[in-house]
Structures are given as structure tokens and as C-alpha cells.
Homo-oligomer: A and B are copies of this chain.
Amino acid sequence: MINKNAPHPLYHQVKNLIEEKIISNEWPKGFQIPTEKELAKRFDVSTITVKRAILDMVHEGLLYRQRGKGTFVTSKRETDLQSLVTLKHDAEDEVKHPHRMLGFERINANPLIGKKLDIDEKDEIFKISRVKLNGKKPVVIEHTYLPTELFSGLSEEMLQDELLYSVLQNNFGFELDQAKIYFSTLTANFEEAELLNVPEGEQLFVIERTTRTKDGTLVEYSKFIIRQEEYQFYIDVTI
């Protein structure tokens, strides 16, 4: 297995062996890999070599560590960004969209939200905050801002376990047409860490979205704060 006379460093070979196990699904997503000591014995190399290989693979995102538990094969769910702005669901999603409601308020906008929604900063908006659940696990904090002028009659009940886009289309008859999506990250503050059940300071993925209807009206601005280990986002692009 390991060739100790090969020209490239030993830990490269160890990495390759581990990668093979992951790619062949011998070690599937979420699998807890053996300890460094066990791997060193199995590959007949030092634990320092194994440690170096694993550190590299954690850095590259193939493995992740949970303090006090061990090292696991990364199990992000590949998610087409297009699904963030689509109304068609796949069979799995058809059923339910469990959310925990955090807040549903009517407030005045501020300069930032005013700019995002192209309204006056003093205009009234709905601010809706929810946590999206995967089973019982919190995975995304969703903050949504809607001009109240466009949403008279909106109630907390309408949003119960519903996707926002369904409500916009089915309850208010908006013909959604274009979305603009921004990517960034942020460091979890105390509140975000609590809500997503991650350590404070954890790096989180952020997606911001604004949506326009066919006649060009800006109807919503949302900010999604996402646990990184849950989703691997991608897009398919035609060149």
C-alpha cells in the first residue's frame, strides 16, 4: 500500500489512501474514521504522518472534526442554488417545510432595508424571522423583509411551515420573475450560535436575496444564515 521509497512525501500517500476510501464509499458521508493511532498502525506509518494527512483533508473540507467525538467524512447536502428561487419542489420537499417562527413584526424600515427594497427608510415593513429545520435540527436562520403596503392581510399563520415564495404567489398572486442572490459569510454571534446550535464564532454562510415580479416591483428581501456543514451550494452555468 505505502511505498516508503516514493519521491513524494509519505503523507500524500496516506491522503490518497483515505481519499480512495471516501470516493469508493467504503467510508461513506458522515462516517467516523478510525483514530490516528489505528490508521498509523494500519498504514504502517507514524501518527505524525497520519495527523498531517488528516489536517490537510480537514483544511480541504473532505473531513471535519467534532471536539471530543472524532473525525468524520463530510456529509454536506449538494444543493442547487436555483432551488432557493424555484417554486417546483422535488418529491422529498413536496411534503413539508418545517420552520420555527422567531418573530413576526410590523416595523419601520431603516436606511439599509429601505435601499434593499427600494422604499423610503420610514416606510412600514413586515420583519419575519424563522429557523428552518431539518427534522429537529436547526439549519438556516431566515430574516425576511416585506413592504406592508404590498402585503395587507399577511398573517403569521400563512407562513406556518410554508416557503415564502409559495405564500407570495399563492396568497398574494405575485408573478415572481427575477431574483438577485449575494454570497458572503459571517461569524456567528451569541444569538446566531444559540439558534443554530453551533459554537459562537463559527463561520456561517450567508445568502441575501431580493425578488422582483414581472412588472419590476421589488417584493421581498431575505437574508439566509446557513450552517456550513449542512449544505454544499452549486450552480450550473452555460458558458
Q: Is the CB of B183 within 8 A of A183?
A: yes
C-alpha spacing A110/B110, complex, angstroms: 52
Q: Which chain B residues border A206 with CB–CB below 8 Å? A: 61
Is A16 an interface residue when CB atoms closer than 8 A count as contact?
yes
Closest chain B residue, CB of each to CB of A110: B16
Tell me whether A185 and B185 are in contact in the complex, defined as CB-CB below 8 angstroms, given that A85-B237, A112-B23 are known contacts. yes
* A185 close to B205 (CB less than 8 A): yes
Whether A237 and B112, one on each chain, are in contact in the complex, defined by CB atoms closer than 8 angstroms, is no
Per-position 1/0 for A182-197, Cβ under 8 A of B: 1111110100000000
State how many copies of this chain the complex holds: 2
Q: Which chain B positions have C-beta within 8 A of A23?
A: 111-112, 115
Point out the residues of chain B lying under 8 angstroms from A85, CB to CB: 237, 239
* Min CB–CB distance A87 → chain B (angstroms): 7
Whole-angstrom distance from the CB of A203 to the nearest CB of chain B?
5
Tell me, in angstroms, the Cα distance from A16 to B86 when the chains sit together.
33
A87-B239, A181-B237, A211-B239 given as contacts; is B61 within 8 A of A186 (CB)? yes
Shortest Cβ gap from A185 to chain B (Å):
5
Contacts of A233 in B (CB 8 A): 182-183
Cβ of B16 and Cβ of A234 under 8 Å apart? no
Are the CB atoms of A237 and B62 closer together than 8 Å?
A: no
A110: B residues at CB distance < 8 A: 12, 15-16, 19
Per-position contact with B for A9-52: 1 when CB-CB < 8 Å, else 0? 00010011001101100000000000000000000000000000
Residues of A participating in the B interface, judged by any CB pair closer than 8 Å: 12, 15-16, 19-20, 22-23, 59-62, 81-82, 85-87, 110-112, 115, 121, 165, 176-187, 189, 203, 205-206, 211, 228, 232-239
